[in-house]
Structure 1
Amino acid sequence: MGSGTPAGGVEYDGHLPVLREDMRAITYSRYGGPDVLELTDLPTPKVGPDAVLVRVKAASVNPVDWKVRQGYLDPIMDVAFPVVPGWDVAGVVERVGLDTPELEVGDEVFGYVRKDWVQGGTFAEYVSAPVRTLARKPASLSFEEAAAIPLAGLTAYQSIRRAGVTAGQTVLVHAAAGGVGGFAVQIARALGARVVGTASERNHDHLRDLGAEPVTYGDGLVDRVRALAPDGVDVILDYGSDDAVATAPQLLAPGGTIASILDPKARDELGGHHVWVRPSTADLEALGALADAGKLSVDVAQVFDLADAAAAHEASATGHVRGKVVVRV
C-alpha cells in the first residue's frame, strides 16, 4: 500500500493507517469527586492486533463509573493515570487491527469496553476496543440508545442466564425500574416468564408498561409478593435491594434460586449466584436481536455533551434516575 493522506485525516506509512491528530477526552489524574474530571487533549489510541479503533458517537454512565473514579476498584484492577472513564460505547469503526476479521472500517458497533486495567475508556472521541467487547449496533436504535445498553443489558442478560430463567417461571426483580432491572424485566418477559418487580410507587406504571407486576419495596414486601405469588417465586434477581438475601428464604418456592450483583451471600449462604458482568460479543448480539425485534426498549433519561461529563456523573450518582444517563460525543 502506497503512502498518502486520504480523506478523514488518516495518513498511511506504507503498511497501516496512522491517525496523527490528538483527540478530546475526559480524564482524571487522581481519585475524587466529579470535580476531578476535566476535558483535555490526548494522543489518539494505538490499536492492538485484536482491537479496533472506534470513533465514539455516544457513551453512557453506570454507577461503577463514578465508583471507579472514587477508587472503588483500586484493590482489584491496575489503574494508570490519567484515566479516561467509561466502559459503554456506541460508534463507528475507524481502523482495524491486524487480526480482526469480525469487523471492518465503517461498521457501526456498540460494546462494553472493559479491559484488564483502568485507563483508556469511552468518554473520548476515540477508544481502542478489543473485538471481544463489541458487536454490531442494533439497526433500530440510535447511537445514544445503543450506548445505554451494554453494561446494564449484559448484567441483566448474564444474571438471568446464570439463574436459569425459563418460560412459565415467576421471577422477582428487585430494583426493577433501574438501569439493569428495566432490561431484566424485558428479557425475562421475552423468555416467557411472569415478572414481579419492586419499585417506588411513582415507577409502577412504567413497570406495567414493561410487562411486570409492580410491588412497593420496604416493610411488608414479603406479604405483598406472597399475595401475588402464594406458592413463592422461582427466581429472585437482585439489582439493588438491601434485604434481598434476608427475605429470599421467605419468598423462594421449593427449588428456587437467587442471583445478586451486590451480595455474595446470595451464593455463599443461599447456594445461588453472585454475578459480575463480563464483555461478550455473543451476548451483545442477543441483546441487539431483542432490540431489533421490538422486545427490548431503551430508556434514556438524560443526554449530556462530552464537556459536561461531570454533570452526567452527578446525575447518575443521585440514584434517582430512571433509565440511563448518556454522553454524546
Structure 2
Amino acid sequence: MRAISYDKFGGPEVLHVAEVPVPEPGPGQVRVRVAASVVHPVDLMIRSGRFPAPLPTSLPYTPGWDVAGSVDAVGPSVDGLAIGDEVIGFSPWLRTTVGAHAEYVVLDAGWLTSAPTSVPATEAATLPTNGLTAVQALDLLALPAGSTVLVTGAAGQVGGFVLALARTTGLRATGLARAGDREFVESLGATFLWSADDPTEPFDAVIDLAVIGSSLLDLIRDGGGYVAASPPLRPEPVRGIRTFALEVLPDGTRLGELVKLVTSGDIPLRVADVYPFADAAAAHERLAQGGVRGSVVIVP
C-alpha cells in the first residue's frame, strides 16, 4: 500500500510516498481503508525533530492521527463493526506511531464510531482528534450550566469545537481571537474578545489553546479552573484554581456523541484545504504558514 513516510527529520521535503506492507488487524482491531485524514501542528513538530519527548518507536514514521474511511477487515473479538461500515476515529500517534496518512490503517475497534452520514469524508475526518480534545477539556473542568469560560485561540479547530460544545451544554463562553474571527466566534453563541486585558469580571474557567500561559490565572475567580494545551504548560495551582493539561485519548463512544451533534447542526466542520498524498509537503507548508481556519486534509 502507499503511505506518506519520512526516514529522517527535517523540513517538508523529507516527506515522500512509500510502498509499505498492508497491516493486518489483531484481536479487537479493525483495518480501515482511509478516505481522508488531517495534518496537525504536532505532525510538523515531530517531522522537524522538535518534539520534546521520546517516541515509542524509531524512524521511519508515517504521520497522521485522524481517519475517515470504511472498515476493510475485522480482527477476532470485534463486535459492532463489520466490513463496509463507514467510520471515523483517530490513532493515539504519540503512543503507537501508527499513522493514518496511508491507504490502510489498523486501529482498535473501541477508538472508532460510525461516520456522520450528512458530510463527506474530508469533513468527517476533521472531527475525531480536535472534537475529542474539546470535549475532554470541558470534561476536566466539569462546569455546571451557566458557568463562564474563556477560550483562547477560539477560532482554531479545537477552539471552534469548544465554543460549539459550550453552547450545547449551557455554558457562557467568551472566545479570544483575532479581529477577523469575530463573526465566527459570535456565530457559535460566544462573546468575542480580542485582548486578554479587556475582561472586567473574572471567569469560572479558562481553556488556553493559544498558549498564552499562566498570566491568564489572573482572569479566573478563586477556586476556578484552567486547562493548558499540553502537560508541560500546566501551571501550578494558585488561589484554589484547579489546573489541568490536555492529553487527548481515543474514545469511540464519546466520538459517537459528537457525531450526533454534527448531524443536528450543533457542531460545524471546517476544511481549509485538501491535498493528495503526493502533495504532503505542500500540506505541511500550508499549515506552517499559520492563520489556517479549518483543517488541512490529506487524501490518498
> How do 1:140-289 and structure 2 match up within 5 A?
140-217=118-195, 221-222=196-197, 224-226=198-200, 230=201, 232-243=202-213, 245-249=214-218, 251-262=219-230, 264=232, 266-270=234-238, 271-289=242-260
The answer on whether the counterparts of 1:79 and 1:117 sit within 8 Å (CA) in structure 2 is no
The answer on whether the counterparts of 2:211 and 2:229 sit within 8 Å (CA) in structure 1 is no
2:167 aligns to what SS in structure 1? helix
Q: How far apart in 2 are the matches of 1:248 and 1:74?
A: 25
1:58 paired residue number = 36
Q: Which ranges of structure 2 fall in alignment gaps of 5 or more residues?
A: none
2:144 aligns to what SS in structure 1? coil
Q: Give 1:43 deviation, angstroms.
A: 1.4
1:297 paired residue number = 268
Q: Kindly indicate whether residue 284 of structure 2 is the aligned counterpart of residue 313 of structure 1.
A: yes
Q: How far apart in 2 are the matches of 1:308 and 1:157?
A: 32
Q: How far apart in 1 are the matches of 2:86 and 2:48?
A: 32
Aligned pair count reads 297
2:60 aligns to what SS in structure 1? strand
1:78 aligns to what SS in structure 2? coil
Q: How far apart in 2 are the matches of 1:282 and 1:96?
A: 19
Q: How far apart in 1 are the matches of 2:37 and 2:95?
A: 19
Partner AA of 1:38 in structure 2:
H
Deviation readout 1:154-200 (Å, 9 max, x if unpaired)? 11110111011331111100000011101101011110111111111
Q: Give 1:42 deviation, angstroms.
A: 1.2
Q: How far apart in 2 are the matches of 1:265 and 1:202?
A: 27
2:13 to 14, 35, 40: 35
1:111 aligns to what SS in structure 2? strand
1:47 aligns to what SS in structure 2? coil
1:108 paired residue number = 86
1:196 aligns to what SS in structure 2? strand
Q: Give 1:68 deviation, angstroms.
A: 1.7
Partner AA of 2:39 in structure 1:
V
The answer on whether the counterparts of 1:240 and 1:262 sit within 8 Å (CA) in structure 2 is no
- Give the 3 Å change call, closer, same or farther, for CA 81–262 of structure 1 in structure 2: closer
Deviation readout 1:95-118 (Å, 9 max, x if unpaired)? 000111131101111111125645
Q: Which ranges of structure 1 fall in alignment gaps of 5 or more residues?
A: 1-22
Q: Give 1:76 deviation, angstroms.
A: 3.3
Q: Give 1:32 deviation, angstroms.
A: 1.4
Q: How far apart in 2 are the matches of 1:71 and 1:56?
A: 26
Q: How far apart in 2 are the matches of 1:323 and 1:56?
A: 20
1:182 aligns to what SS in structure 2? helix
What's the C-alpha RMSD, in Å, of the aligned pairs? Answer: 1.7
Name which one, 1 or 2, has greater alpha-carbon Rg: 1
TM-score, normalised via structure 2 length: 0.93
- Give the 3 Å change call, closer, same or farther, for CA 160–130 of structure 1 in structure 2: same
Q: How far apart in 2 are the matches of 1:266 and 1:169?
A: 22
Deviation readout 1:219-242 (Å, 9 max, x if unpaired)? xx23x122xxx3x11111111132
Q: Give 1:74 deviation, angstroms.
A: 6.8
Q: How far apart in 1 are the matches of 2:203 and 2:112?
A: 34
Partner AA of 2:109 in structure 1:
V
The answer on whether the counterparts of 1:267 and 1:274 sit within 8 Å (CA) in structure 2 is no
- Give the 3 Å change call, closer, same or farther, for CA 320–116 of structure 1 in structure 2: closer
Deviates more, 1:102-111 or 1:133-142: 133-142
Identity across matched positions, percent: 37
Partner AA of 1:238 in structure 2:
D
> How do 1:11-50 and structure 2 match up within 5 A?
23-50=1-28
The answer on whether the counterparts of 2:64 and 2:93 sit within 8 Å (CA) in structure 1 is no
